[in-house]
Amino acid sequence: MNSVWLKGYKDKKAREEQVRSASWAFDLLADVLDKEYKRKPNIQDYSDPQWVHKQIAVNEYNHVIDDILKLIKIDER
């Protein structure tokens, strides 16, 4: 491990500062997620008997994308 990371390991404030200093990486990750992992649209085909299960899967997928974006956008908390 990098000695800079080890030095601030026990100090919560120092760890927070180190993470915030690498916020550009989180911003790049958010950009990739926004471009590559789009939210899925709601299911509109109600004639399919499995539409409920498909909609549940879509809701879960969209929720995961939202949760990940919330987690990595540390300045918006």
HEC secondary structure over the chain: CCHHHHHCCCCHHHHHHHHHHCHHHHHHHHHHHHHHCCCCCCCCCCCCCCHHHHHHHHHHHHHHHHHHHHHHCHHHC
Sign for the CA dihedral angle at 11, 14, 20, 25 comes to negative
Q: Chain-wide mean pLDDT for the chain?
A: 84
Give the C-alpha separation, 77 to 70, whole Å.
8
The share of the chain scoring above pLDDT 90, in percent, equals 34
Give the C-alpha separation, 41 to 27, whole Å.
25
pLDDT, tens digit, 9 for 90 and up, residues 10-41: 788 888 888 888 888 888 998 998 899 889 99
